[in-house]
Amino acid sequence: MNWNSVMGLVSSLALAGPVILILLLGLGRYRSFPYLLAYFSTVFIYNLITGHYIHVSPETEYYWGMVNNLADTPLMILFLTYFSTSRNFTRRMHLLTAGYIVFEAIVVSVIGLNTEAITIIMGPGLSISIGLCLYFFIRNTKQAIEKRKATGKAVIVTSLLFGYGCYFLIYLLYYVFKAHIDSKGQVNLGYVNDTFLVYYISATLSSFLMCIGLLIEYKRVQKLRELRITRRELSAIYTTETKRAVPLRTAMLDFDRELWN
Query: Which segments of the chain does DSSP mark as H helices, in order?
Result: 3-24, 33-50, 58-80, 87-111, 115-146, 151-171, 189-237, 248-251, 255-258
pLDDT digits (tens, 9 = 90+) for 44-99: 999 888 888 888 888 898 999 899 999 999 999 999 999 998 999 999 999 999 99
| C-alpha distances in Å from residue 6, one per residue of 11, 14, 160, 201 | 9, 12, 23, 10
Q: Pick the closest to residue 205 from 149, 144, 164, 152 (CA basis).
A: 164
CB 137 within 8 A of CB 209: no
User: Helices 189-237 and 3-24, interaxial angle, to 10°?
Assistant: 10
255 phi, psi to nearest 5 deg? -60, -45
Other C-beta atoms within 10 Å of 110: how many?
Answer: 9
User: Which sequence spans correspond to the domains of the chain?
Assistant: 3-220
Q: Which CATH class is domain 3-220?
A: mainly alpha
Average pLDDT of the residues in 221-234: 75
Predicted pLDDT of residue 242: 55
Mean pLDDT, all residues of the chain: 86
| pTM for the whole structure | 0.85
pLDDT band at residue 253 using 50, 70 and 90 as cut-offs: very low
Is the model's pLDDT at 244 over the cut of 90? no
Is the model's pLDDT at 257 over the cut of 60? no
Q: Pick the closest to residue 46 from 72, 74, 79, 26 (CA basis).
A: 72
pLDDT band at residue 2 using 50, 70 and 90 as cut-offs: confident
Is the model's pLDDT at 9 over the cut of 70? yes
pLDDT digits (tens, 9 = 90+) for 137-152: 999 999 988 888 889 9
Contacts for 201 with CB less than 8 Å, ≥ 6 apart: 7, 11
Is the model's pLDDT at 254 over the cut of 60? no
Predicted pLDDT of residue 192: 74
Instruction: Judge residue 210's burial from the number of C-beta atoms within 10 Å of its C-beta, 0-12 exposed, 13-18 middle, 19 or more buried.
Output: buried
